[in-house]
Amino acid sequence: MLSQIQRTLSRQSAVIQLENNVVSILNGAEVGTPESRMLSDAEEIDEKQNPFDDVPDGGFMAWLQVSGSFFMYFNSWCVASGSHKFVGAFENYYTVSGLSHKNASDIAWIGSFQAFLLVFIGVVTGPIFDRGYCKTLVVVGSLMVVFGMMMTSLCTEYWQVMLSQAIICGLGEGCLFIPGIAIIPQYFSSKRAFATGIAAAGSSTGGITYPIVFHKLVPQLGFGWATRIIAFIILGTQVYGLVRALYDPTAIGDFKFMVFTIVVFFAFADGVLLALNPKRCVRFWPGPAKLGPINIMFPFTIFTMVMAFVWAAIHNRGGCIIFAISYGFFSGAFVSLPPPVLTSLCPDLGMIGTRMGMSFVISGLGLLIGTPIAGALLKTPAQYTATAIFCGGCVAVVSVLIIVVRVAKC
């Protein structure tokens, strides 16, 4: 009797399990043993997207990174690891002339310690790169290498050479080395080896170029200037990498950003003329934030333009005082409002500083040429009238371009 009850319960349990499995299948759930579920999970993991699937594997930006990495190899791995070439040229000079009182072993420590630091500092620069500070490493490394070479050109003692060439240059080259090799895998997958080979060719190119330059220049200009010229070559070739690190490529195709950069250029070209008038007032803009910086800037620009043209008709002291106060007040918008406008035009808040730097580099040329143009106009028969017309013309261009930016932003 007991065995019959057990068989009945077993059959009922099997039926219940079968019903549960059918329900699970209809609901899209997994069935089976724990082992089969573990296998299914493993297969699902294998089917997950490879992190390198999103890598572009080419394109303009990718090859731009390769070209920048080429020059990083050119100025880092070549200079230090090229101890048998570039540093070897310096060691030969030290042995014969510069540090002839030192033995060959002491002199060899210069190049070997420099090469050691290039690789060893990777334990620090690697994590820094992973945390997104590639640009910082490129800038710091470039400046350190150039500074170290400049200081090397002034060295007369062994400890000075060790400090400038071995330590400063070695650390700077280490800051360049990791970004040079680590940036490429982020832009290439199947072409990664080929791209890395092109970048690594910079080491061989530099290893041939720098020793030739050094050997040719030392007899003609001496060790100091030969080393300085090499430092200038490093600076010139690293400018490419610095520009690549310090600018936002997407800004070039941003119509609003480029137009407003021209706005600031003409505003600065005009603003420098304010130095001709000492009666400038302090700039203070408590305008309502909800109006937006562009909407606030436009009326002040119109008033500034009007005052600039009125300047040509002023011929007495009282008029000059009123003009100075009014023009100084309204033209203050050209100094206080461009940063907020650039911020409002930037699609990525993480690139605000970069875009501001790019804009001010270009618009700063207005400050450079404004004063010479004003001085040249003052020497013409029209004198201040010509200067006022130039000033008003610059602000008129600003007014028109602000309207263009405002319409494009809508």
pLDDT digits (tens, 9 = 90+) for 209-218: 888 888 889 8
Residue 352 sits in a domain whose CATH number is: 1.20.1250.20
User: Which DSSP state fits 189?
Assistant: S
Which range in 126-135, 229-238, 241-250 is most confidently predicted, on average pLDDT? 229-238
Q: Give yes or no: residues 91 and 235 share one domain.
A: yes
Q: Give yes or no: residues 306 and 368 share one domain.
A: yes
Q: Is the pLDDT of residue 48 over 70?
A: no
Q: Give yes or no: residues 94 and 195 share one domain.
A: yes
Q: Check: pTM over 0.75? Answer yes or no.
A: no
> Tokens 């305008």 — which residue?
287
pLDDT value at position 146? 92
pLDDT value at position 53? 56
CA dihedral 217, 223, 229, 231 (to 10 degrees): 140
**Which of 246, 279, 309 finishes a domain?**
246
What average pLDDT does this structure show over 269-274? 57
**Using 50, 70 and 90 to split pLDDT, how confident is the model at 130?**
confident
Number of domains in the chain: 3
Distance between CA atoms of 161 and 256, rounded to whole angstroms? Answer: 50
Q: What percent of the chain has pLDDT over 90?
A: 8
User: Which DSSP state fits 242?
Assistant: H
pLDDT value at position 268? 81
What average pLDDT does this structure show over 318-338? 79
What average pLDDT does this structure show over 105-132? 84
**Using 50, 70 and 90 to split pLDDT, how confident is the model at 318?**
confident
What's the one-letter identity of residue 276? L
For the chain, the straight-line distance linking the first and the last C-alpha, in angstroms and rounded, comes to: 87
> Tokens 């994590």 — which residue?
127
Residue 323 or 289, more confident: 323
**Which of 246, 281, 316 finishes a domain?**
246
Q: Give yes or no: residues 110 and 83 share one domain.
A: yes
Residue 369 or 50, more confident: 369
Q: Give yes or no: residues 238 and 261 share one domain.
A: no
Distance between CA atoms of 122 and 171, rounded to whole angstroms? Answer: 10
pLDDT value at position 148? 92
Q: Give yes or no: residues 72 and 135 share one domain.
A: yes
Q: Give yes or no: residues 88 and 227 share one domain.
A: yes
pLDDT value at position 116? 84
Q: Give yes or no: residues 131 and 268 share one domain.
A: no
Q: Is the pLDDT of residue 277 over 90?
A: no
**Using 50, 70 and 90 to split pLDDT, how confident is the model at 225?**
very high
Token representation of residue 222: 């001496």
Q: Give yes or no: residues 174 and 293 share one domain.
A: no
**Which residues 6+ apart lie within 8 Å of 100 measured at CB?**
94
**Which of 191, 214, 246 finishes a domain?**
246
**Using 50, 70 and 90 to split pLDDT, how confident is the model at 150?**
very high
What average pLDDT does this structure show over 355-362? 81
Q: What is the pLDDT of residues 154-190, one digit of tens each?
A: 988 889 999 998 899 989 988 888 888 888 887 887 7
pLDDT value at position 195? 83
Structural domain including 346 reads 255-409
Q: Is the pLDDT of residue 82 over 80?
A: no
Largest CA distance in the chain: 129
Distance between CA atoms of 365 and 386, rounded to whole angstroms? Answer: 21
Q: Give yes or no: residues 112 and 37 share one domain.
A: no
Nearest to 274 by CA among 332, 337, 318, 196: 332
Q: What mean pLDDT, rounded, does the chain reach?
A: 76
Q: Give yes or no: residues 67 and 199 share one domain.
A: yes
**Using 50, 70 and 90 to split pLDDT, how confident is the model at 228?**
very high
Q: Give yes or no: residues 214 and 280 share one domain.
A: no
What average pLDDT does this structure show over 271-284? 43
Q: Is the pLDDT of residue 301 over 50?
A: yes
